[in-house]
Structure formats: structure tokens, C-alpha cells
Amino acid sequence: MGATKRDLGLKTVMLTDIFYNRYPNKPVKSAWTELDRRFMFQASKLLRVMLLSKPEWTQNGQDLYEDQTRMESTFENAHERVCDELGVDSLADPYHHYNGRPERKLYSVISNEYLNQKYDLRVQPFITIGLRLSLIEQVLRIHSDFVARLNDGLDSKLEAARSLDSNMSPFSLFNNEQHVLANHKRITEHLSAAILEINERLRQAAYPLSYNNGFFQFTDDRLTSDEIHEPFWSLVADPMWSNVDLQMKEAIDRRDNADRTAAFHAVSALESVIKIISGKKGWNTGMEKGAANYVDNLGSRANGNFIEQWEADLLKKMFTDVRNPFAHGPGPDRMPSLSPQQTNWAIDTAMSWAKSLIQRM
């Protein structure tokens, strides 16, 4: 998942998990319509607004300059990632032509032109949609990673700002600490608003997708998505739950590609939740041999019955009946598998349990 690096000596090449490659056998739509054209226009505009939000206050125009620089870097990074995976140099004509002399376009311009290109009737609709969604996904993912790093470094930035303020004239109208906080709030709120809007635009375009923590993924049940999936992804966005996030994304990717082991990864994500909670609460004994022992830690009376006995019994059944058959070779017995409906149930149930347990922390 995400992107990894290979050093080939000459340059670093990014191996990127793009939407188009992730779902080769599951088209988003079978026809290109006016809804698709509108979505691509709206998404391209939304990305620029997200990356170039007007600062509420600035010092010598520095914030606006940093936003412009970051916007161009984000589009360049996203563009290059997608191009590398598709084996092309550019997604659209990279040059302006004035009086016969070529001039290189900004990557934000190239990306905008690509997303708004007129649909080519010679290309199957699901290919065009999948490729353009890949670029949108990468821009969102790269900026989300930047905001995560911004959050991680906020305390040190505030400390440096306070140090600057302590050395400034008491009559100065500029407060560095307030400036850092305002800038941080602006950037994080614009990202949150962009994600909410992109998911609403996906609904309006009749795409069975939602964006969660860096990835577009299929969702077939709107109510389940609203009540379970979206709260789940919001909760596991915290770095503490990074393994849960990765395992559940793996489960959904495998489900959407008809892989019979999807439920195994979903229930493994649930196991990670249980282990993390047990460890964070200080309930591990060091004698645990499997998921059931960690469930017992949560249900222990000595630990305040974090979960009730009936809940512990249901959780253990998830591991015994859903996950364990896929964790061992079947030998001469029938290869374990679940129907698509059973797989969806397993993923939704694992998400629901995880959401409930995390919210009790």
C-alpha cells in the first residue's frame, strides 16, 4: 500500500499503489456521462482550493508563497507517481507553445488540463475514470501526509515561535505563536473540508467510492459507509492504529479483487485493535498465546470488564469461525472460502467491533 522507494543508482523511483492498478477487474462505471465531466472539473478545482487556501494573516506574504510552492510540489509529485506507474512521461502536453517556442507548464496546470480533457471515445470509460481518479487520489494522499507531518511537528514549532516572541518588542503587532496556530488550523481545516466535499462529490457522480486515509475504496452500502466505515477510518487515522488501518485496507482491496482471504485480513485488523488496547491499558501478562487470551484481558473482572462476557464470546467466535480457517492449510479438506455477502459481513462486523472498542478507550 502507499509508495515505497527503489534506489536504482541514477535516481529514486517511487513504487506507488495507484487506484487504476489496484482495481484492474472492478470498473467504477461502464459509461462516461455529464456527471463524470462535472466531477473531474469539481475535483480539479477542489484540489487547488485545498492547497492554496488564502491565509487569514501573514508576514511579508510568506504563507502565500509557501502555499504556492507546496501546491506545485504536490502536483509534481502526484503527476510523477502516476506517470511512473503508467510508463509515460506526462499525462498531458507539458509545454505551452508561443511563436514556435516551447515553454514548460506548471505541474498544477498539466494536472488541471489532464483532469478536464475532453473524453476520448476510443478509450473505455472505466480506464479514463480510473486514471483520473488515480491522480486525484495521489494529490489528496500527498497533502494528507504533509498535514500529518505538520501535526507531528506542531509542538516544536510552537516552542520556537514562543522563543521568537520573547525576544520581540512588546509593541510588536505580530505574534509568532498565534501565527503558527492560525496557519496550522487553516491548513488542517481545509484538508478536512476537502475530504468531506470529495466524498459528497463522489456520491453525486454515482461513484461507489469513498476516500479514506489516502485511498479511494469501493463502498456499496451508503448507510453502512456513513454509520460504520467513515467513523472507523476517522478513528484509525491516529498513528497508534496504523497497523489496523493497513490491514483493513488490505482486506477491502482483496475483497474488491475477489480474493478469498479478504475476511482473514479484516479480522486480523480487529485482533490488532484488541492487542493495542490490552497493551496500552497495561493488561498484558506475557503469557498470551493467541487472540482469545487478549480478548480475556479485555473481559477480565480484574481489569474492570472493559467488555462484557457476552461480547468476549462473540469476539472469540469471529476468530474461531471467520479468521482461523484461513490461517492454516486445510490439508485434504475443502479450501475455506466465503461468499461475497459473507465477506462483506465480516469486514463490516470487524469494522464495527473495532470502532466500538476504540471509542471506549
Decide if pLDDT at 234 tops 90.
no
Radius of gyration (C-alpha) of the chain in whole angstroms: 24
Question: Which band of pLDDT confidence, cut at 50, 70 and 90, is reported for residue 182?
Answer: confident
pLDDT at 303: 92
Decide if pLDDT at 1 tops 70.
no
pLDDT tens digits for range 205-229 = 999 999 988 999 888 666 666 678 8
Burial string for 61-88 (b: 16+ CB within 10 Å, else e) reads eebeeebeebbbebbbbbbbbbeebeee
The residue-averaged pLDDT of 116-134 equals 94
Q: E-strand spans in the chain?
A: 3-7, 12-16, 95-98, 101-104, 209-212, 215-218
pTM, 2 dp: 0.72
pLDDT at 41: 97
Decide if pLDDT at 308 tops 70.
yes
pLDDT tens digits for range 342-360 = 998 999 999 999 999 999 9
pLDDT at 176: 79
Q: E-strand spans in 56-98?
A: 95-98
Q: Do the beta carbons of residue 347 and residue 255 sit within 8 Å? A: yes
pLDDT at 151: 86
pLDDT at 11: 47
Decide if pLDDT at 24 tops 90.
no
User: CB 304: neighbour CB atoms within 10 A?
Assistant: 9
The residue-averaged pLDDT of 275-302 equals 94
Mean pLDDT of the chain: 87
pLDDT at 3: 55
pLDDT at 17: 86
Ordered by start, the domain boundaries in the chain are 3-207, 219-361
Which residues, at least 6 apart from 199, have a Cβ–Cβ distance to it below 8 Å? Answer: 210, 211, 230
Angle 154-166/125-152 helices, nearest 10 degrees?
50
Question: Which band of pLDDT confidence, cut at 50, 70 and 90, is reported for residue 8?
Answer: very low
Domain 219-361 belongs to what architecture? Answer: Up-down Bundle (1.20)
pLDDT tens digits for range 235-280 = 998 889 999 999 999 998 888 888 889 999 999 999 999 999 999 9
